[in-house]
């Protein structure tokens, strides 16, 4: 007899409810460490949660319709998630990128977006942020039926994580004591922190930032690893409930990604290595009465960092 397998209806019906794993090791023997494996989302990162939630909500509330052009400035996982999900929903997606995009991401975004606009003129400070936003504004004026996602300021970005990842993290253990989240647009930590504090008011939320990022007031410095840190302060962070911030250097990110791979057989992206490094650093000299339950996320896989974090020549050239 043929058994009927449970079948998902289209790839995007598999967003969320990612695997939860326990990581053991002498370096983390004073804590119980639980990790949400966000690379199991359909386009390979935590950003599928935001892309699907935001687009569905905008359609449901009537803020966009089937003819609206979706616009976003993004060179990373969010661009991949948005371009895929807009295609699934039959929406046009215009993506604004810059020359710092990795060749893998550019290939994927080019093949899935309706149009890609590459800003090549650097800003006065050598970055591209100002000119990318200028391009977004230009497109909005040119196409009146358009919607700028603006992940740094859109409250739906945080809402996505409140309703999905935050709830799943609350169920990671019988009690949640600490949650570590790497920050870039601030959407993940804002949503997750609010949900965790609703359920576990005494849990501590630790933001993980990268040396050179200005999010929490640190001095700006050139950074090379995408997905964590920012050169501007994200407005949605105003609503986050953060207890402490831990800084990790990009060299520590590289070392910890390699440690995760070689010791724990997890091929993870940059912010995952940053979270792992921050957790070890935080608990290295902490006096603990009992073993705390610590929850974090590994936002994506190592594949997209093949030419950077996992390339010894690149690391040597970049002095990481």
Ligand X SMILES: Cc1ncc(COP(=O)(O)O)c(C=O)c1O
Binding site for ligand X (CB under 6 A): 45, 47, 76-78, 182-188, 227-228, 269, 271, 299-300
Which CB sits closer to ligand X, 269 or 292?
A: 269
Integer Cα distance of 104 and 68 in angstroms = 28
Which CB sits closer to ligand X, 18 or 45?
A: 45
Integer Cα distance of 235 and 155 in angstroms = 9
Classify residue 257 by burial, with Cβ atoms within 10 Å: 0-12, 13-18, 19+. buried
Which CB sits closer to ligand X, 23 or 228?
A: 228
Integer Cα distance of 121 and 187 in angstroms = 28
Which CB sits closer to ligand X, 30 or 245?
A: 245
| Least distance (Å) between residue 65 CB and ligand X | 27
Neighbours of 225 (CB within 10 A): 22
Integer Cα distance of 29 and 24 in angstroms = 7
Which CB sits closer to ligand X, 40 or 143?
A: 40
Which CB sits closer to ligand X, 185 or 193?
A: 185
Look at residues 97, 271, 122 and name the one whose alpha carbon lies nearest to residue 187. Answer: 271
Phi and psi dihedrals of 180, rounded to 5? -110, 130
Integer Cα distance of 149 and 143 in angstroms = 14
């Amino acid at each position: 007899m043929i058994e009927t397998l449970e079948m998902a209806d289209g790839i995007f019906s598999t967003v969320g409810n990612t695997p939860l794993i326990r990581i053991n090791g002498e370096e983390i023997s004073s804590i119980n460490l639980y990790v949400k494996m966000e690379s199991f989302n359909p386009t390979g990162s935590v950003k599928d949660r935001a892309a699907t939630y935001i687009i569905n909500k905008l359609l449901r509330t009537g803020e966009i319709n089937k003819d609206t052009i979706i616009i976003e400035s993004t060179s990373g996982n969010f661009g991949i998630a948005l371009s895929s999900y807009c295609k699934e929903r039959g929406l046009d997606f215009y993506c604004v990128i810059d020359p710092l995009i990795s060749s893998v991401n550019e290939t994927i975004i080019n093949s899935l977006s309706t149009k890609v606009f590459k800003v090549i003129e650097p800003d006065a400070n050598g970055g591209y942020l100002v000119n990318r936003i200028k391009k977004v504004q230009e497109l909005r004026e040119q196409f009146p039926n358009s919607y700028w996602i603006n992940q740094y300021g859109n409250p739906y970005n945080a809402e996505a994580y409140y309703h999905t990842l935050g709830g799943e993290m609350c169920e990671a253990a019988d009690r949640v004591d600490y949650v570590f989240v790497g920050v870039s647009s601030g959407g993940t930590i804002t949503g997750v922190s609010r949900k965790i504090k609703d359920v576990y008011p005494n849990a501590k939320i630790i933001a993980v930032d990268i040396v050179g990022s200005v999010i929490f007031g640190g001095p700006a410095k050139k950074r090379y690893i995408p997905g964590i840190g920012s050169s501007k302060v994200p407005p949605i962070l105003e609503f986050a409930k953060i207890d402490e911030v831990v800084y990790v250097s990009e060299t520590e990110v590289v070392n910890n990604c390699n440690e995760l791979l070689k010791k724990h057989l997890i091929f993870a992206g940059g912010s995952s290595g940053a979270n792992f490094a921050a957790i070890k650093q935080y608990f290295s000299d902490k006096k603990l009465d009992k073993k705390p339950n610590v929850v974090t996320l590994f936002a994506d896989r190592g594949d997209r960092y093949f030419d950077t974090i996992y390339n010894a020549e690149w690391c040597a050239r970049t002095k990481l």
